[in-house]
A and B are shown apart, each in its own frame.
Chain A
Amino acid sequence: MNRLVLIVVLLLTSLSLSTSGAVTLQLKSGQVRYEVQLKTLGIGGDNVSAVNRSVIGKVSVAEDGRVEGGLVVPVIGFDSNNTKRDKDVANILRYKKYPAITFEVVDIAKGDIERILESDSGAVNIRAKIAAAGGSRVYDLVLHFHSAGTDAVRFTTQLAAKFSDFGVDPPRLGLFLKTAPDRIDLSGDLVFQVEKETQDQP
């Protein structure tokens, strides 16, 4: 009888120890930004930038390193301090048909995920797909991370994209007097809360 109890206890203990953990990164705060250089008659440079703080984000990392989720960036959420310009940008990005820009990680090494979760700071290489205005492209990015308090990680990254990556023509304004080259610099500064989930394995 005592042996049976001992076996049951050992069995239950081994079951409780064999829990595995998926990790969810829930976006707490942050912003994405774009910067475009406008040229007047092809000369000079007038930097235009806009910030979007309405980003929605959630990333789940399964135990096998599979990453799901990403960021949803509302196109109408960009604020450049110029209402008319923000409206023009939203129309250029065909917001009525494609109201959100999405960002998803398509490739990250499992070891890098562990580094992000365990180190205070560092940088990892990822491949991410950005979809906007009906087009999409995969970019190689360097993702910098820093600890941002208890169970929180701050990510920063930047990349030089092209309007044509998404099938969009670069903006032309004021009877074509002002034009932008086929380049749009994107950057992100986002803080995620790390939530470790434990699942009992059968």
Chain B
Amino acid sequence: MKAAFPFFMVVVLLLAVPAANASLRDSNSWLSSAPPEQPAAPDTLHNRALEEMLTQFKQKPDTQELPYESWTFNVHRYLGYAIVAATVTQVILGSITWDARKAGTEPSTKTAHKYIGYTTAGLSLAQSSLGYTNFWKLREKESGKTKRIVHLGLSTLATAGFVTAAALAYNARKEINDGTAAAEGKTFDDLYSKHRTAGIVSGASVLLTVVVIEW
């Protein structure tokens, strides 16, 4: 029996060591973060062609930034809200000014209407430039294209309207100041009705264009 003991131990060791190894190997693979069925990814560093394509791709800034997160979109959005606020203010001030003039009184809103008007026209020009840039950035995006085209058309009309309204108001004021209006017998309606129409058209276009793009 004593002689058989060392032989017994050797047999136990021979059986136990491989089993322990297998158990350790299994536990390692279980601990590994990769799923067990994950095939080993071959070394693809040799794929120079793909690396070159990636390098070229990364050199194009348009491909790195969501257009909606770029500064041109953010500024365009908030400038748009500012223009809406300015337009509403202008419509109110313009109506007060118009009514006061028609009643033959000097309106207190005249100066505010004038400077907010020039500011709105200037902001609209800047806004349109940003808008065209954004439109170009999204030229390949099919979804929402019709909406963007309508937005572009209405916004262009609004900007053109604001600039026209400002030019007409400037011209009317000039005719009053240099006496041409009085010499030609022009009435207030003759001088400002086109300015009013341009203001109303551009104001309506601003509101519509925001509704179209935000809808």
Interface residues of A (CB under 8 A from B): 53-54, 56, 58-60, 68-70, 72, 74, 76-77, 79-83, 86-87, 90, 95-96, 99-100, 102, 104, 106-107, 127, 129, 136-138, 164
Mostly, the B contact residues are loop
In the assembled complex, the CB of A72 is this many whole angstroms from the nearest CB of chain B, namely: 5
Among all A-B residue pairs, the 8 with the closest Cβ atoms: A69-B49, A68-B49, A81-B143, A70-B50, A138-B39, A74-B63, A72-B53, A99-B64
- Determine how close the nearest CB of chain A comes to the CB of B170; give it in whole angstroms: 40
Chain B nearest CB: distance from A116 CB in Å?
Answer: 18
Query: Any chain A CB within 8 A of the CB of B44?
Result: yes
CA distance A99 to B57 in the complex (A): 9
Q: Which of A59, A86, A102, A127 has the most CB of B within 10 A?
A: A102
Q: Is the CB of B41 within 8 A of A129?
A: yes
Cβ–Cβ contact A68 & B47, under 8 A: yes
Q: A76-B63, A87-B68, A99-B64 are in contact. Are A70 and B53 (CB under 8 A)?
A: yes
User: With A and B bound together, what is the CA distance between A129 and B49 in angstroms?
Assistant: 15
Which of chain B's residues have a CB closer than 8 A to the CB of A58?
A: 49, 53
How many angstroms from the CA of A90 to the CA of B48 in the assembled complex?
A: 26
Q: B18 contacts the other chain (Cβ, under 8 Å)? A: no
Name the one of B40, B42, B57 contacting A56, with C-beta atoms under 8 angstroms: B57
Do the beta carbons of A68 and B50 come within 8 Å of each other?
yes
Instruction: Supply 24 A–B pairs (Cβ within 8 Å), ascending by A.
Output: A53-B140, A53-B142, A54-B63, A56-B53, A60-B49, A68-B50, A69-B53, A70-B47, A70-B50, A72-B57, A76-B65, A79-B143, A82-B143, A86-B66, A87-B69, A100-B54, A100-B63, A102-B50, A102-B54, A106-B41, A106-B42, A106-B44, A129-B42, A138-B42
> Are the C-beta atoms of A104 and B57 separated by less than 8 Å?
no
Which DSSP category, helix, strand, loop or mixed, fits chain A's interface?
strand
Query: Nearest-CB distance from A198 to chain B (Å)?
Result: 19
Q: B29-43 vs A: 1/0 string, CB under 8 Å?
A: 000000100111110
Instruction: Please name all residues of chain B whose beta carbon is closer than 8 Å to the beta carbon of A79 when the two chains form the complex.
Output: 141-143
- Count chain B residues whose beta carbon lies closer than 8 angstroms to a beta carbon of A: 28
Contacts of A56 in B (CB 8 A): 53, 57
Complex: A74 Cα to B142 Cα, angstroms: 16
**B185 on the A face (CB < 8 A):** no
Complex contact A99–B141 (CB within 8 A): no
Query: In the complex, given contacts A68-B47, A106-B41, A136-B41, what are 9 additional A-B residue pairs having Cβ atoms less than 8 angstroms apart?
Result: A72-B53, A74-B63, A79-B143, A82-B143, A87-B69, A99-B63, A104-B50, A106-B44, A129-B41
- One digit per residue, 1 when the CB lies within 8 angstroms of any chain A CB and 0 when it does not, for chain B 84-109 equals 00000000000000000000000000
**Given the complex of chains A and B, what is the CA–CA distance between A102 and B51 in angstroms?**
10
Check if A54 sits within 8 Å of B143, measured CB to CB: no
Chain A contacts of B41 at CB under 8 A? 106, 129, 136-138
* In the complex, residue of chain A having the shortest beta-carbon distance to the beta carbon of B65: A76
Which residues on the A side are within 8 Å of B42 (C-beta)? 106-107, 129, 138
The A-contacting residues of B in range 166-211, CB under 8 angstroms, are none
- Return A139 CB to nearest CB of chain B, in Å: 8
Contact with A along B50-90 (1 / 0, CB 8 A): 10011001100001111111000000000000000000000
Smallest Cβ distance from B215 to chain A, in angstroms? 12
In the complex, B6 has a CB within 8 A of chain A: no
Chain A residues within 8 Å of B64, by CB: 76, 96, 99
* Complex CA–CA separation, A102 to B46 (angstroms): 15
Report chain A residues within 8 Å CB of B53: 56, 58, 69-70, 72
